Structure formats: structure tokens, C-alpha cells
Structure 1
């Protein structure tokens, strides 16, 4: 009995495989045009492997270990041979890891090499999550005819760009990733990384941030210095955004995404670009965080249905282009498009007395709070790669004096929200530079508040009244009758987002942190609101826009 196989099957909730008897060819040398060799392992069934389609996985995280085995074994047991390759630099591959910059040229050279191997059986499928999905998008407009499908998971074609927006700089995720890849080849690396979480959190509080990599690693990291010093428009990032290649994709694509994934907006953008270009694409979007095991389990099932069918020249089982998990209702539903038709924007206005209503606000004074970057408003759950992620109880967060809440009365009907969520918050700060963080929550009949989606916008000229147009993460959520809709407004979610020093100095070098006195307006001239895409007709379950 192969214990590892059984454990993976159970963890990923997979059907029984066709075989558990595999062979593994280790350390195959794949030459690159510049003379560097990248190492790869080939997994295949012990009997008949050479006749099977090949799944190609390119990863910076190692070919063996837990992740490598979880990706390769279930595919090799279910109708594929699998080539998993270490990208340039780590785990024995030649060259130096230069994140994001070599995946196009190296990937295309790898596909050409696979096509010339004696065990290759004429067809390939590209597979992988996160960085591994990005490696697929980097070459999507020049795929050889032997590639028949792509299955990117919790990933997108521009990857780091979302974290480096000048109007909303993320910190925790790219920094944590930089520390992870810098230390991943050490003995017991994953355990060390988890045990070092507190050290990492302390490093993120370093003033100025340019010293944070030394605090975390003991030495300088070029990647971490880059993400601290250069926003997405900087020349340093030229060439790593492959979103312009997406419409030129020539193979069917099945994307696996999560409502609490760090790459969701970009992944939905890629899906929409494929559909707009008339490409064969479908989307599965579940209630998952970036590292949820169900992401890989769903992807393996999609590989054995969608990917294997296309590799054999067949059509996969018929299903709608978009399959969404509607949270709150906790069930899957099929749609023809993203965002689905039939959901229109409804404004829920902030009101005096910490209330939220579809009625326009009346004359009222602004609400006030103080934001102190020395004691920044913390990140609690939500869209994070580490720490507490996903849906969590927000009671402690909402009790802080630097968090405002606005809540509807109990809903008289179920209310279904599916699509893009945004907010328009009229805001003023005592400092010219400030952030506005908005979070949508569901308050159950017991008064517990659970986060659904959120977003942050950095403002300049914030000492004047500004209409902050905050883009929240998309969602699909059913607010049940008797529940209440709540909006949080604050000025940060640290360390998910870098804290705003209030001075206008670059956040990497800012050494002074200024306390800010913030005002949120809700009156006829300043109708602050969250905009929710609400189902128009009664349709299924008799949903309405009451609130």
C-alpha cells in the first residue's frame, strides 16, 4: 500500500486513481538557450506511461517535498505523465533566481525540449498554482501546437503588480514571499518559516522599512528591496506584466480561483480578456484562500476532466462557463459570464448613528476617529497568504476606536450580492496623506460580524474632503433574512498593507510616523456609500434589494 498516495487522495478529496504504481526519473537536465541547465523530474505510471499526455509544471519551490509530491503524484496516478521542473536558480537548476523575469524564455525552451523527448506522446497540458500559473501566462501567446490546455490556479498574468499599486501598496504578501524563497532550501525550511512568523511580523514594523529584510533574514534581499522601493509603474518591473498576451491565448483555459485569494482581481481580469477575445475559457471560483487544499483538489479534478479530454482531442463534460460558490448560501451555482447578468449596483449609504441604509443620508456631522501608525489598525482575516486568513469573527477589530462601523437593520428578505463591490467614502484627514480601508461584513443574529470582502485606497491631498473610490474584492454572497449588512471604515490593515506615515515620504524610507485625525462624511453633499451588485428580480430564492 502506498501511504503517501492514500493520504493525498484523502486530503484532496479525490476519487480512487487508476494506478498507484509510479516511476520517477530524477534530475533530468533541460538545456536553456544561454547554456544554463534546469533540472526536472518525470513522473509516470510504471506501465504504459509513455503513451500518456504530459502535464508540465514549472516551479521555484522545489520538485520533491510536500508541494511537489502533492502536485505530481495525483496527476501521474490519473492519466498523465508529469514533468515538474525547477525554475532558474533554486533546487539544483542553473543560473540565479530573478523572480518573474525568466519564465517566458525558459518556459518556451522547456516546452520545445519536452516535445523532442522519446517518452513524449504528442500532447501537453500546462498546470500549476500561484507563481506556477504565472509561468504559464508568460508564454501563452507562443505555445506550440502540442499544448492542448492550460489550468492556472489562484494566479494571474501580472502577479506582483497588484501588490505594488501606488494607491494601495501591499506589504505582507510580497515581503513574506521574498523571505520564503530566500530561505526555502535550508533544512526544515517550511517549519522554520512557520516558527519564524513572529520574527517576520517584527521585521515588518522596522522603521524605515528598508531595514526590514535584514531584520527578517540577516542580510539584504534584492527582491525585497525592489518591492519596497519601486511601485508598479517603475522601470524595474518592465516586462513582467504578461496581461497583454492573454487575449492571444490559443488553447482552452480552465481557471481555478478563490474568493479570498490574493490574486483574484487579476485572475478575473484574465478570464474576461479571454472571453472578450472569443477564447475557450471557463472559471471555477470557490470559498478558498490562496493556500487552501481544495484549490489543488479542484484543479486535479479539472485536469482529469477538462485537461485530459482536450489532450485526447475530445470535448470535456458540458458545464456552464462560470461556476461560483455563493457564500452564505454555501452552494455552487452556474452562470454564463463574469460578472453574471441580472445584478445591478445598489447604493447602501452611511448614515448618522452608525447605520447603513438604501435611503439617501440626511444632514449630519461627520464621524471621527484617530489613526496612529505607531499602533496601526491590524489586518484580521481576509485576503492574506499567511496568518489568519479568510472569514473570521471581526468583533475585536470592530471594538477598536480607529474602526467605524455602519450597519443595516435586520434584513426582511434574503439578499444576493454577486459581482464587483466598491465604495465611495467622503473623507478628510488632518494629514495630507492618508488611507481609506473599507470592509463588507455579514452580522448574524447573534451579533457576530464576519468579513466578506474589502479594499484599500491611498489618498493624496487628503486634508481636503475627497471622495475615495475604493475597489473591494469581488464576491458572491447571500445575506440571509434576519442578518445585517455592515461596513467598516478605517485607515489601514497592517501588515497586509503598508502603514501610511502621513508625511508623503516614500514608505520604504519614511522614518517619521504622524498621527492623523480622520473624518467620514455622510450628508446630502457627501453621500458616502458602499455599492453592492444586487439581484434585480426575485428569481431563485425570491431575492430582493431591501435593506
Structure 2
């Protein structure tokens, strides 16, 4: 066991622990109001564990192994006792696993149970990433006084609803996650997942998509069927939306996110809601994707710094409310707020011949390309969560060589240009079909002509055969474009399978069977001034 302790210490870049001698009480029964019994394990130092601050983690992925061990052990060795509970219907806990739907009632019942245990002291913190962060938001407005802080990483209060937008259905994440949890309790689940990754990716091409779950794993998934059948604003998902609870949180919150994380926009929204309500909230965003090691390193450090201090009724070491890793500059910087002050929106206009400049274009013919959903424009790097798929910053050379991707590039920059905040684009667009997507990506082109993605976004249009302005909300970012580099904007009509390919027919996504190619036009004349809108500190000449 001590070998595991040393490995985790090194992996998470932690100082030596107070103790490596732990005791684990397994399969504690935690009763719920409806009679279901959820199982939990309690980790504590072998001596002196009773009465220590409790860190509570509620997890659907099991209480042991690679998912849980690196989260639990470091805390139990450094000042906490830790209770890790399997959520309803997973890994021995009673009831049926219906993702996201029972976490409020089960979470409140668990909090009440913990505070009544003989080993409980006077304080508790909530901790966890992704789903483990969502379960915190589900109870955040009804926390008992013993809860002193929340440490929420790569998560948000309306988990998964961003993926299910009617105007931008993100297929890959909910589908891959649904397949993963469906098979996670089978023997050799992780090797099976690795070996089956290509089959899952191929299944995303299935038509109709309602058959894709069977193609991926040989059986139906109620969750995947629900994802395909219901948009984000459908009543079906009301129990997943805890955004209205955020402003009522009374405990300090530390949020850890990543510039290429799947939940970043919602996480920033939650932080802003807390600050607007006058709550104590601090934010850390690094150059990470959802499963990057840096997330775990930073989240654990926050639990042991921010969380443990509040649990002991102390103040954590003072730091700025917002700490951001500025990519391009490759350094951490502190700011008073998100978005930070001093960054004004500046438009970079699309021009003919692939140019991009601050001034608007003159009279010019539109640029065109053909989008064929039978050979969809691929997703390359960026915001991804799929086994064996590289996320984050990658070389876009191959993508930009495709005939269905337009690029617009500035002249070489004379000075550094710093972009920090919310990014958007206004693309004047027309398709030969009523239904089409507009995908926009911001890139950094270095001295060697290597194009690296910074952030991106997509919107689906339903009257695309009429010339109109498509407003695309890209992922927020913090990026410094270096002198000697160039800024590039890509425009295309997809990023498959991150986003579902638009069949061009208007058929429902679950049942669509026909694929129609479309001829797309992007305008950049005085009446149709397509532009990328960047929050810039240094003006662009």
C-alpha cells in the first residue's frame, strides 16, 4: 500500500504526508429516504482519525481502483478523513442508476447521515471532479452548517445540458460516456473500453443514430436514447439543471477548470453567479482537457489548501480570486475577476483571398465550399472526451488542407496580442439547404506555418438557405499571440464526431437516415461584415 502512496504523491506533486498508515472501513450502509441503501467506504488515519474534518466524495465509477484511489488517499494522509460513496445503482449501492436524477435527494440524505456518525467531527468539505462536482451543485443550496467549503473541478451545475443544445448537439461526449458507464462494472472493464474504442467511434456513423448504442455495445442504453430524443430545454432534463441553486451557496467555493474542458462555459457561468451574489469563490483555469493530470494535481492542492483551511475555521493563504494559465505566454497570471477587466472586444474581419484584418472588407464575392455529411469535416483536438483521442492543442495542418475548411489569416504580428475572455464570431452565411452548421475555430500560426487551435464553437441553423448572420459562441480562452505569429480563423460546417454531423434534411437526430451534401457560402462584403470578435488588451494593427 505504501508503494501506491508514494506513486500518488509523485503523480500529484504533493509534499510528504502526515501518515501513510490508513484504515479503510468498507461497505458502510447509508440509508436513503426511499429505502434504498447506498454503500460507502471511510478512509482515515489508523490512529487519530475520528473527529478530523471529513471530505465527502460521491462517485458513480466505483470506490476503488484508478478512479477513486488517487482522489481519496492523498486527502486521508494529509489531514482529512474521507467518505467515498457509490451513487445509486452503482458498485453495490441499491436502487437503479438513472444518471444525474437522484443526486439531490441522495446527496441531502447522505449529508444528514454523515453528520450523525460517531466518528464525525465538526466540519466537512465536498470534493470531486466532473460528475463528482455535479453532485455538489445538486445540494449546494441546502448544505448543513457543518459543510465549510466546496472544491468543484471540471464540472458545472447543469452538467451535460451544453451538449444537448438544439442549436449545437455535441454527440461524442454523452454517447461515449453512456457506453462507458453501461459497461463499467463488467470484468476487465478498462481493457474492454480500450479495445472497444474504435468500435465506439465507428458506431457514431450509424444511421439512424437510435441504433448506435447497439452498434457500439450490443444492447440499448436508456440514457443514450434519452440524449438522442430530448433537447437541453426539454422537461425531461429539468432534474439535471441546478443553475438556480448556485447563487444561494453560502460556503466558499474553489473551482478548477481547463481551457479545453468539456464543461468550461458552465463552470465560468457558475463562478460569475457566485461572485454576483457576493459569495466567496475562487477560480483556477489551466491549459487542460477534461482528464488532464494537471486537473487532479490542482484540485488536490486546493482541497489541502483551501478546503482544509476552511474546515479548520482558518483562512487559506491569500491569492487573487482568479488564476489563469495564459497559453502562448505559457505562464500563470492572477486577475481580480472573470472576465478580467481591461480587455475590449475587437473585430477581426474576414477578407477575400483568405485575409483577416481589423478593417472591414470592401466589395467581394463570397467564398464557397461543399459540405458532405457522408465525409464529414473531422474534429481535430480541442474539446474532446473519447478514449484514445487527443484533446487540447494540436497541429491543424491536415484539417486546414481539406476543401471543406476555409481559413482567414492576419499578417505577421508586429507586437504580442493578448486575448482573455469570451470569444465569439459573426459569420454571414448561406447554404443550399435550410439546415446547416457553422463551425468556427481560432488558431495561432507560428513562424514555421504550424497552425494550433486555441478555441472553437458551433451553431446549427434551420433557415440556412437565406443569407443571415450566424453568431457563434466559442469556448472562452486566455491566449497570447506572439510577435512574429499570425492569427487564423477557420470556418467550416462541422467537427465530427464531437458535434453530430448535420444531415441537411431537418430530420430528428435520432431517426435521420438521409444525408444530403450542401454548398455553403461565407460572405465578407460591406453589407455582410463577417468577423471574429476577440477580447483584446493589445490593439491589432
Question: Normalising by the residue count of structure 2, what TM-score does the alignment of the two structures yield?
Answer: 0.99
Partner in structure 1 of residue 135 of structure 2: 135
Q: How many Å separate the matches in 2 of 1:187 and 1:53?
A: 35
Q: How many Å separate the matches in 2 of 1:17 and 1:404?
A: 53
State the secondary structure of the residue aligned to 1:273: helix
Deviation at 1:236, TM superposition (A): 1.2
Partner in structure 2 of residue 539 of structure 1: none
Q: How many Å separate the matches in 2 of 1:546 and 1:348?
A: 9
Partner in structure 1 of residue 515 of structure 2: 513
**Structure 2 counterpart of 1:464, from 463, 466, 470:** 466
**Structure 1 counterpart of 2:540, from 535, 540, 546:** 546
Q: How many Å separate the matches in 2 of 1:255 and 1:49?
A: 27
Partner in structure 1 of residue 301 of structure 2: 301
* 1:205 lines up with 2:205 in the alignment: yes
Partner in structure 2 of residue 445 of structure 1: 447
Partner in structure 2 of residue 329 of structure 1: 329
Q: How many Å separate the matches in 2 of 1:307 and 1:313?
A: 10
Deviation at 1:163, TM superposition (A): 0.4
For residues 516-547 of structure 1, the C-alpha deviation after alignment (integer angstroms, 9 at most, x for no partner) is 00000001000000000001xxxxxxxx2124
Question: Normalising by the residue count of structure 1, what TM-score does the alignment of the two structures yield?
Answer: 0.98
**Structure 2 counterpart of 1:497, from 479, 496, 499:** 499
For residues 499-529 of structure 1, the C-alpha deviation after alignment (integer angstroms, 9 at most, x for no partner) is 0011111111111000000000001000000
For residues 403-445 of structure 1, the C-alpha deviation after alignment (integer angstroms, 9 at most, x for no partner) is 0000001100000000000000000000000000000000000
Any unmatched runs of 5+ in structure 1? 536-543
Q: How many Å separate the matches in 2 of 1:235 and 1:167?
A: 17
Partner in structure 2 of residue 540 of structure 1: none
For residues 230-273 of structure 1, the C-alpha deviation after alignment (integer angstroms, 9 at most, x for no partner) is 10111211221000000000100000000000000000000000
Q: How many Å separate the matches in 2 of 1:294 and 1:28?
A: 32
Partner in structure 2 of residue 388 of structure 1: 390
Partner in structure 2 of residue 413 of structure 1: 415
Q: How many Å separate the matches in 1 of 2:391 and 2:57?
A: 27
**Structure 1 counterpart of 2:435, from 433, 436, 440:** 433
State the secondary structure of the residue aligned to 1:206: coil
**Structure 2 counterpart of 1:486, from 485, 488, 499:** 488
Superposed, which structure 2 residues align to 1:98-177 within 5 Å? 98-177=98-177
User: How many pairs does the alignment contain?
Assistant: 539
Deviation at 1:16, TM superposition (A): 1.5
When structure 1 is superposed on structure 2, of 4-13 and 463-472 the one drifting more is 4-13
Pairwise CA RMSD of aligned residues?
0.7
Partner in structure 1 of residue 76 of structure 2: 76
For residues 434-478 of structure 1, the C-alpha deviation after alignment (integer angstroms, 9 at most, x for no partner) is 000000000000000000000000001100101000000000000
Deviation at 1:51, TM superposition (A): 2.8
Q: How many Å separate the matches in 2 of 1:292 and 1:5?
A: 20
Q: How many Å separate the matches in 1 of 2:129 and 2:319?
A: 22
Q: How many Å separate the matches in 1 of 2:509 and 2:324?
A: 37
Q: How many Å separate the matches in 1 of 2:234 and 2:303?
A: 37
